[in-house]
Amino acid sequence: MALGELLQRLTRFDRYLILCLSLLVGVSFLLPFGRQAGARLIVEADNRTVFSAPLDTPRQFAVEGPLGMTRMEVRNGAVRVLHSPCPQKICIGLGEARRAGDLLACVPNRIVVRIEGDVEGAAYDLLSR
């Protein structure tokens, strides 16, 4: 069925309405709803938590992985990977992680950096559904 034939089933108002609502939906993708700024970063190497620090104090640190040391930096409430021994440096390309739920991962070196929100979000021991 031709697209034009389907379009003829819409009134002029319908088309404007859909256009406006599409824009609205598009805008809603840009808003980081409810993503509060992260409070702590947690570094896991080989599924074990090896390092944890608040995001509000600037620092540099390094974590050992199977390939070597991955250097990271905390600055302006965000964490990023400075240097990594992995071949493709994707983890450096991921840029900064600053919001609760953000994730940086260096898969070859088996290092995952998670950002956690404030204490309220961590109050749950377990969520089952």
Question: What residue ranges bind another protein (CB under 8 A)?
Answer: 6, 8-14, 17-18, 21-22, 24-25, 28-29, 31, 33-36, 101, 121
User: What is d(CA 112, CA 66) in angstroms, rounded to the nearest whole number?
Assistant: 13
Pick between residue 10 and residue 82 the one whose CB is nearest to another protein: 10
**What is the tally of helices (H) and strands (E) in the chain?**
3, 7
Pick between residue 24 and residue 119 the one whose CB is nearest to another protein: 24
Q: Nearest to residue 69, comparing CAs of 60, 57, 77?
A: 60
**Residue 23 backbone zone (phi > 0: left; psi -120 to 50: alpha; other: beta):** alpha
Pick between residue 8 and residue 57 the one whose CB is nearest to another protein: 8
